[in-house]
Structure 1
Amino acid sequence: MNFLTQIDNLALIALLVVSGIALFLPTLSTLIRGKGLTATEATIWINRRKAYVLDLRPEEAFKVGHLPGAKLANASAIAAAIEALKLDRKRPVVLVCETGAQSRKALSEVQKLGFLEVGALDGGVQAWKLAALPLVK
């Protein structure tokens, strides 16, 4: 009977370890790759957390329509754009492009500049439009 109790305890410990790892993996993934944000999550970051919004699209696309409060930032020189804007590194940053691909690529560079929280709008401006959220001209 004692042997069966030990097996039960080992099974419970193994379950606890596996559960802990499963809960931690998304956090680890976010720390390594940065956070992908849905349109709803981006809205919450912008409205409640006063996140900066950096639009990485070309100026012509930006002028046609951009997220409210967005600042234009050249994707190929994002470090220089951020320095020119004098952004507070304690505030979150939402990166936006047309489809989300360019924003994902820029995530690590913005994190290296000392920003604690950086997210990329999954699906970019296209996803923002599909969610029927407003664009500013």
Structure 2
Amino acid sequence: MQQYLDFVLAHPFLFAALAVVVLLIIANEVHGNLTGGKRLSIPDAVRLINDREPLILDIRPAADFKRSHLLNAINIPAAKIADRANELGRDKARPILIYDALGGSAGEAANQLKKLGYAEAYPLRGGINSWLGASLPVTAK
């Protein structure tokens, strides 16, 4: 324990930088939970797909969608959600799983869909990159 204290005393700027990074990570998670509701982890998303057959919405640009996307996903870029919401179907009670590249803007899209009357809109934590990192299937069709 004394070695830790010696390190902190010898490197106060490094320790302060670590503290700032930790606080920013915590603030980011809290902000995401407050603004985007519950963000689904990969296992939770797989469970949702298997149990409830949600609509899967890819909000990345069309070029990225064509390269690879989750199975049965539809593509509506984030900036066009309000204009193209009619493409999501009439069943506003059906859950929607939303993802982007890294998970950053999926929460905002979920909020937008909730304002349009969709009851359940869940952003995927980490986006398609975390999906690929878990070695789960994607398609280019």
TM category (shorter chain) comes to 0.7 to 0.9
Counterparts in 2 of 1:135 and 1:87: CA distance versus 1, 3 Å: farther
Give unpaired runs (5+ residues) of structure 1.
1-28
TM-align CA RMSD? 1.7
Spell out the pairing of 1:52-131 with structure 2 (5 A cutoff): 52-131=55-134
Alignment-derived partner of residue 17 in structure 2: none
Amino acid in the other structure paired with 1:133: L
Identity, in percent, stands at: 34
Letter matched to residue 71 of structure 1: I
| Contact kept in structure 1, 2:58 and 2:76, CA below 8 Å | yes
Distance 1:60 1:33, change over 3 A: closer
CA contact (8 A) 1:55 1:62 kept: yes
Structure-1 separation of matches of 2:119 and 2:101: 24
Q: What does residue 44 of structure 2 align with?
A: 41
Following TM superposition, by how much is the alpha carbon of 1:89 offset from its aligned partner in structure 2, in angstroms?
A: 0.5
TM-score, structure 2 as length reference: 0.71
**Larger C-alpha radius of gyration, 1 or 2?**
1
Shift of 1:101: 0.4
2:8 corresponds in structure 1 to: none
Q: What's the offset of the Cα at 1:30? A: 6.0
TM-score by length of 1: 0.73
- Number of residue pairs matched by the alignment: 109
Residue 131 to residue 110, structure 1, CA distance change in 2 (3 Å): same
Match of 1:51 in 2: 54
Q: Which amino acid aligns with 1:67?
A: L
Whether the 8 Å contact between 1:37 and 1:120 is mirrored in structure 2 is yes
Deviations 1:2-38 (A, max 9, x none): xxxxxxxxxxxxxxxxxxxxxxxxxxx9686322011
- In structure 2, runs of 5+ residues without a counterpart are 1-31
Partner of 2:13: none
Q: Is the contact between residue 39 and residue 125 of structure 2 (CA under 8 Å) also seen in structure 1?
A: yes
The CA deviation at 1:84 is 2.8
